[in-house]
Structure 1
Amino acid sequence: MNKVSLLAASVAIALTGCGGSDGGSNGGNSGVVITGFDGYFKNAVVFEDLNNNGQWDTNDTFLGLTDEKGQLKIKAKPESTLALQTITPNGAKQKQLIALDPTYAGTYTVDMDHPSQAMAHELVFRAPNSSNVISPITDLVAIEMANDSALTEEEAVAKVNQALGGTEEAPIDLYSDFVSGVDKSAELHKTAQILTESKAQNPANYEKKATEFAQAADQEVDRLVESGADINDPNLRPVITDSTPESENLAPETVVNNKLVVNEDVEEAAEDKLENLPEIVKGAGFDGVELNIEGLFKDKDQNLVTPKLSHNLGGTGIDVRIEGNQLILLPAAEVTKAGEFEIILTAEDKDSAGKALSTVSTVFELDIETANQAPIVIEEEQKRLQSIVDGWQLQQGEAFEQTLDISGLFKDEDGQLEEYSAESISIDGLSIDENDNAIITIEGTPEKAYAAGQTFIVNVEDNEDGKTRVTFKLPEVKEGATPPPVVPTLGFTIDHFNGKAAKMGSFARNDGEIGHAILMKDTEGLLWCWGSNDDEQGEEYSANISDNLSNSWESEYDPYAILAKLDKLPNYAAYQNKDCWDVELKDGKLYDDEGSEYEMLYQNKTTQGEYQILVKIDGDELFWFDSTDAPFAQALPVSEKVANGKVEFDMTVESETVAQDETELFYAAGKFEYANGVYEYESIKPEGFYTPGNWTISLDSETNRETLILEETGSESDYKTRHRNVNREFGDFYIGINSSVEQNGWVSAPEFGLYSHSQEAIEKVMESLPLIED
């Protein structure tokens, strides 16, 4: 095969810079259109990959979502690598998107090659900054440049071109829109489809062997063409796997796969029947409905496809089930909850050998209305207020404060406006609040510059729980001096006793106490509240994730089920039977009537004024206290914390027995260094212990919860297999839920663990705790 010269690669890049696709160019004020595809990706996140790690991190710049043509128009090209993240229903990145803006709830990516179903994988594709398209093909170029910082873009293009069969005489335009238009190429389209499926099936080593995967995909397309297969069939999706994942070179094995697809006719008929139902209203009855889903999923590799059901209709009074070929929404005497709900049907896509490759989903939406009409936005007032906001002057590092009167923004034609609120300002360093008189205050110091278009949201609720929200766009935040970081004084103050409902948990070994908590004031002084005071209504506001759910000697633990029950309880601040005790504030510490001392070891104060605190009680008991709105049963992606090349630090707790009031606790800290499927662990406080091990991340397809699995292999090891979920972000730390399995199958009780990517942060906390003896 002839090599593709750097000259040919340079010409291809230059042509792309002139607007190779219909996306426009970098010049002028018309903006730039970015297009993402293997087929066109609808509702994919386009972002600026600031550290070029091939992941959508929370600090990466969010540019927007693509439309049904895979396109997003942006004002100008960013300087860093362009990237695209696909979103799946209930996926980790969908949760990240919703956290960015709650209005994105229910948003997921659709590959328009299969317009009736959600994308099966959450993947990232990148492109060099010179490209106006993002695809599995441009991703190959970006990967080569990321793997070798000395490689120029021209050299990377030449390398990928050669892997895909390009020659000196006929180089491949890697930055073309091969799906449609003048650059349409069925061969390149099929290659991209194969690469997408192969990247999803080889998460650990795809980027290490990307050009080899490309070469294998190109050869598979050639084989399909020679065999007379219809490469225009979007369901034909061979998958390339690596039979020697630990070796440096790819040993490709191609598996025949016909993609599981959603039957559009069946789906549309079911959707039409749902949409034509009489309006479902909270407080009224529901007659039920049966939807025919026979043949909803089709797969040439399976004779029988059995769908699975999930939904979020809990609490509405409407039950959902599958019986035979019918999806049944059962009648309800009274519908008890309003809102927008989803019924998700999923099925496994299996290859010709019967191996499950992914899950395919289709989503049915069901709206339940409130009996009353929600408040109405007065458009003229909205325009007037937006014009005021447009005139604000914002600059990085400069203190800012403005108020906005929203009392004339809404009207309610069948009730009364009762409560105004503000939320979700998207500029770091600014906070937003409402003073109970419909006056919004935005204040703070912007931490960085932003283009115009960041947002804040105001809400109103009427006397019948009808809610309406309005989003305002903020003007540009001009560049300026970066403000010095705010270093909070470490210690309790009267400000902590703000009556904000919180969550509190214990790090004790095999004793994961957890409950609702609050720091508050009454007429006599300060109160610390946690859990219930022998509630007669059965509403226990505290629990223990270490509790064995089995009535036998066998171990049966489900910490997330326990946490989910706590999430379902009514607001703790309004709860009348809290277990509270008096505390006295003195020199930043708290003291209760029993003589216990409460010492703050760490504090993170969010821009919304919420507190995350590590507190030591009685000299050796460590607890976490969190007043953010993160739910008890939250499960964050492990893959964002643990990956090849990452280093993290942990804190462990030991005691001779399960923790009781009189049990003395001791602490240690260690360091994990992660490589490809292996890790090394060494103790740092105290020193002297070392073990290697193997690590993997498993994904529960039903809960979509990632679990880190650690298998120690060293001579000093206890040979337990340790499991870890990520429960919550905590400033410089994160909190995990841990358990272990011994070789005889005995499972330890789950407990909370403390982790950080900062050795300084973990050691700072350890300075105030009793250490395990060497």
Structure 2
Amino acid sequence: MNKVSLLAASVAIALTGCGGSDSGSSNNNSGVVITGFDGYFKEAVVFEDVNNNGKLDSNDPIIGLTNDEGKVTLTDKQYSAEKNLAIQTIIPGGTVQAELIARDPQLFAGTYTVDMDNPTQAMAHEVVFRTLPGEKVISPLTDLVAIQAGANPTPEKIQAAKNKVNETLGIEGDTAFTDVIAANNTALHKTAQILTESKAQAKDSYSAETAIAIADKATDVVNDKNNADKLDDPNFKPVIEVNNGVVSEPVINSKLFANESVVKAINTELKPLDSHSINLELPLAAGDLALFEDDDNKNIDITVSVITLDGSVVKNLTTTAINGGKLTISGELTPVRPAYQIKLTATDYNSQEQDKSFGAVTTAFDLQVNVENPAPTINTEAADTIEEWIDSIELYQGVEVQNEQFRIDNLFSDDEKLAFKAYTSVDGLVLELVETQGQTELKITGKPSRIYPEGQTITISAFDGINTTYKVFELDDIEKQPEASIEIDRGDLAELQQEITVQLTTLKVGEAVDADFNITEVFEAQHTSGAIEYYAGTEEDEYATTVPGLKVNVDNNGTLTVSGTPTSATKNGSFVIAAGVNPDADDAVISEYVTITLPNVQPADDVTPPPAGHPLEGKFLHFVEIGHNGTNFAKGWCDSIYLDANTKTMYWNDRDSDNLSTCDTDMSEFTEGVPYTIVGDKIISQEDGMKMTLDVIKQHSFDDDEHFLVSFTDEEGDEKSTELYSYHTNAQYVEEALNNDVSESQEDANWVDRETFIAMPSEEGANDIVVTELKVSGIVQQFDYQGSPYTSASIYGRNAKTCEILQDIYLDYGRIQVHGDSYSADNYFSSQPQYRDAEGSCYIDFMPLDHSAAIPAGLYTIEATPERTDEAERIIFSFEK
């Protein structure tokens, strides 16, 4: 295997290495050119300061790195999209550099800013400068105006800020927003340098008040005739400090700097290594010149460090460095990499304040090592396929990315086992690498937090233990979230209508039908987040059609079922279908209702029709009841009735303490009750001065159950009570509410779901009845949480409408309580429920009186009683420990 060097020769980063490359945009490109300076900033980060706080935050979009003329080019579209442009300088090993490397190592590993006033050394400070919207220059001068204008600048505030800065600096118009270096304005150039040094020294004390005061004193320094010959000296940089909010007098400091001829001499001597065992000796002088020079300090100490390009410090090296003497480094370079940086750093002290630092100067050099391990190579065919996949993903601000996952381990080729990572510059987008059947796939989720112009990236890297290779995929514009909708495909709707017409063309009274159809192609969700749900029925009643005896149902897979037995000849029968995403939420997206017509139902052949009956007859009907059942403690149980259509007799099941949680379908367990008659749509039983009335408010039919919402009225003498019940033909629906265990695990919580109904007038005084379904869940739980028991008995409202009703007619005007079947269980929970919102849902919690006590063994029944039981069902759950 041939040895491979990443670079043919060693060069100083300060000149042409990572910190000195020309990766910034050229000012010859088309588009809008942004310029940043105090001297021109090379490899500084131009970004949009989204919240205008003067900091590079993790969600601020990065536009690019400046070139050696301090310039970066934006497209016209980018420029129009970015409102608050700012520039961030980077220093080697600094906090900002580390954060940027974590964000995008391909772009920022080994990258730092060089002030081209001192091109042989790295920028000494991490500092941010801002400009105003619409401007194309970013500098300490524009930053001064932006600070005066405030975080939310209005045109009036901006003009006032410009006037104030102009008056302070003695300038006119928009001079502060021009390239004063190109204009050879040495006075304003020097003012900008002083503002940079002073802002870096002041840190958080650089406010609107202190900044303008510093600018005033900087102007005095620049206008002082004694300093006229120093204005073009890049190392003459007075510092104006802020101490306890007070702006001090200028400290006339001569900057420490690195001599260019010495830097070049080191470049010439520094050669690539043949191994990671280093024994290096280099001169830190050229002729009479030392590497570092400072008119204020002749005794300059140098600190030596060797780092990887991603900022990790190489430890356990032996180093010495004497300014004007020699640099020695010996030891083992670990971790093993093909390239490192040697950082030589000296502190800038003033002659009058030797104990006080005015910053540090670093000059850095690339150190290459010839390695026998070539870097991973990119498979162009796989790259093209991945790029097609990424381009196919529709990215919009605030829209969740759904089900996007693709193989990426074939993107790179290498003899070694590779470790993959993925990064993105889009805030809110989440990249995750997952292993699937021995392959590595990239999973993309999340939702972009803002609008982005084209040029944002997704980067995938492969690391073979020594070398890292990156593949960058550029993204198109990420635009504002379009309006979510569910559109109707009229062509597919016509095909569905034709299919239904053909399959059901022989509808006839008395003949059962059961036919399935797929309706998914009819509805097209546009820019929605969440699974699509379906509806079938009439606009007033789900599951119903206008044909007596026919019902419709559609499952979550979009399978529409038309079933039942028509009971009368009907012309122009119909039902509607619709689709929705998050239909119970505030941000619901619901399609229009689409009418499906049914073929005419033909009369039955001449047969003697069966006698008219009632839908409650001939079925075992099960419902949840609650009471004391001869004990001192309330509990829930299953009650069952049977209406014999032939004898018109109502039967009730016998209940005792041993069969409360199961429902009976064995007639031997039933006691003959009282006769009844059918009066209109009601079942009425009268005997010995007592009267019972059963009135079906609403009926639903499912594959495995018939559900009846029944108003049950009991009258005796002057006493009369009415209560709503849900009757089920499938006992399981009732037993599931009563036979549950107390949860002992947070991860496997045993929430029990129920649908409960209210039936009340649409408004006070109205004669209509509107049925509303409440989606609720219940739990009793106790589990260890951070070393302490967490216990609650809770009702959970699964959508906003349910929560509104729970709080109103159950919590505020009704009563919610937890019953136990023993004294200790009945007195374990507090009697005061606690209500809490949870983003479109809610909880009603009962907490234990003693949080440290374990739940006693026994049966616990949660009962929520509404304000009026004739308008709303009780909500009942039972849990046993």
- How many Å apart are 1:475 and its aligned residue? 3.0
Asked which structure has the greater CA Rg, the reply is: 2
Is contact 1:289-1:331 (8 Å) kept? no
Distance 1:401 1:280, change over 3 A: farther
- How many Å apart are 1:377 and its aligned residue? 2.1
Is contact 2:52-2:151 (8 Å) kept? no
Counterpart-to-counterpart distance in 2, 1:270 and 1:108:
20
Q: Deviations over 1:376-413 (max 9, x none)?
A: 2244653454345334332341433344444553334x
Matching residue of 1:292? 284
- How many Å apart are 1:233 and its aligned residue? 0.9
Matching residue of 2:9? none
Matching residue of 1:45? 45
Matching residue of 2:687? none
1:111-260 pair list within 5 angstroms:
111-146=115-150, 151-166=156-171, 171=173, 173-180=175-182, 183-207=183-207, 208-223=209-224, 225-242=225-242, 245-246=244-245, 250=247, 252-260=248-256
- How many Å apart are 1:71 and its aligned residue? 1.0
Q: Deviations over 1:225-263 (max 9, x none)?
A: 4554231111111122346x445xx5x412111111111
Is contact 2:744-2:783 (8 Å) kept? no
- How many Å apart are 1:472 and its aligned residue? 1.9
Counterpart-to-counterpart distance in 2, 1:439 and 1:59:
27
Q: Deviations over 1:516-564 (max 9, x none)?
A: xxxxxxxxxxxxxxxxxxxxxxxxxxxxxxxxxxxxxxxxxxxxxxxxx
Matching residue of 1:97? 100
Counterpart-to-counterpart distance in 1, 2:381 and 2:400:
31
Counterpart-to-counterpart distance in 2, 1:212 and 1:290:
46
> 2:283 matched to 1:281?
no
1:62-73 pair list within 5 angstroms:
62-73=62-73
Is contact 1:165-1:215 (8 Å) kept? no
Counterpart-to-counterpart distance in 2, 1:240 and 1:330:
41
Give 3-state SS (helix, strand or coil) of 1:344's partner: strand
Is contact 1:43-1:109 (8 Å) kept? yes
- How many Å apart are 1:460 and its aligned residue? 3.6
Q: Deviations over 1:197-229 (max 9, x none)?
A: 121222343322222222211111010x45542
Matching residue of 1:309? 304
Counterpart-to-counterpart distance in 1, 2:748 and 2:411:
45
Matching residue of 1:698? none
Q: Deviations over 1:408-441 (max 9, x none)?
A: 53334xxx35336342234323333243645533
> 2:746 matched to 1:588?
yes
Counterpart-to-counterpart distance in 2, 1:222 and 1:417:
64
Counterpart-to-counterpart distance in 2, 1:162 and 1:23:
35
Give 3-state SS (helix, strand or coil) of 1:347's partner: strand
Matching residue of 1:373? 374
Matching residue of 2:418? 419
Counterpart-to-counterpart distance in 2, 1:340 and 1:484:
47
**Which one-letter code corresponds to 2:126 in the other structure?**
E
Matching residue of 2:566? none
Matching residue of 2:35? 35
Give 3-state SS (helix, strand or coil) of 1:218's partner: helix
Is contact 2:53-2:151 (8 Å) kept? no
Distance 1:458 1:209, change over 3 A: closer
Q: 2:91 aligns with which of 78, 88, 91?
A: 88
Is contact 1:239-1:257 (8 Å) kept? yes
**Percent identical:** 33
Distance 1:216 1:769, change over 3 A: farther
Unmatched tracts of structure 1, length 5 or more = 1-21, 487-584, 592-596, 601-615, 621-767
Counterpart-to-counterpart distance in 2, 1:286 and 1:120:
28
**Which one-letter code corresponds to 1:476 in the other structure?**
D
Number of residues of Structure 1 aligned to a counterpart in Structure 2: 462
1:464-543 pair list within 5 angstroms:
466-480=467-481
> 2:345 matched to 1:342?
no
Counterpart-to-counterpart distance in 2, 1:311 and 1:590:
51
**Which one-letter code corresponds to 2:140 in the other structure?**
P
**Which one-letter code corresponds to 2:161 in the other structure?**
A
Counterpart-to-counterpart distance in 2, 1:417 and 1:440:
19
Give 3-state SS (helix, strand or coil) of 2:424's partner: coil
Matching residue of 1:351? 350
**Which one-letter code corresponds to 1:304 in the other structure?**
N
**Which one-letter code corresponds to 1:356 in the other structure?**
S
Matching residue of 2:266? 270
Give 3-state SS (helix, strand or coil) of 2:216's partner: helix
**Which one-letter code corresponds to 2:420 in the other structure?**
S
Counterpart-to-counterpart distance in 2, 1:484 and 1:164:
54
Counterpart-to-counterpart distance in 1, 2:331 and 2:242:
50
Counterpart-to-counterpart distance in 2, 1:320 and 1:485:
58
Counterpart-to-counterpart distance in 1, 2:85 and 2:293:
35
- How many Å apart are 1:56 and its aligned residue? 1.7
Counterpart-to-counterpart distance in 2, 1:598 and 1:289:
65
- How many Å apart are 1:135 and its aligned residue? 0.5
**Which one-letter code corresponds to 1:320 in the other structure?**
T
Q: Deviations over 1:87-113 (max 9, x none)?
A: 112212112211211221221111110
> 2:814 matched to 1:617?
no
Q: Deviations over 1:568-616 (max 9, x none)?
A: xxxxxxxxxxxxxxxxx9421799xxxxx9845xxxxxxxxxxxxxxx2
Distance 1:465 1:43, change over 3 A: closer
Counterpart-to-counterpart distance in 1, 2:423 and 2:179:
37
- How many Å apart are 1:192 and its aligned residue? 0.7
Distance 1:171 1:219, change over 3 A: farther
Q: 1:400 aligns with which of 402, 407, 420?
A: 402
**Which one-letter code corresponds to 1:262 in the other structure?**
A
Q: Deviations over 1:434-463 (max 9, x none)?
A: 43645533332423343333322333455x
- How many Å apart are 1:288 and its aligned residue? 3.6
Is contact 1:263-1:298 (8 Å) kept? yes
Distance 1:586 1:38, change over 3 A: same
Counterpart-to-counterpart distance in 2, 1:212 and 1:305:
33
- How many Å apart are 1:476 and its aligned residue? 3.0
Distance 1:336 1:307, change over 3 A: closer
Is contact 2:318-2:330 (8 Å) kept? yes
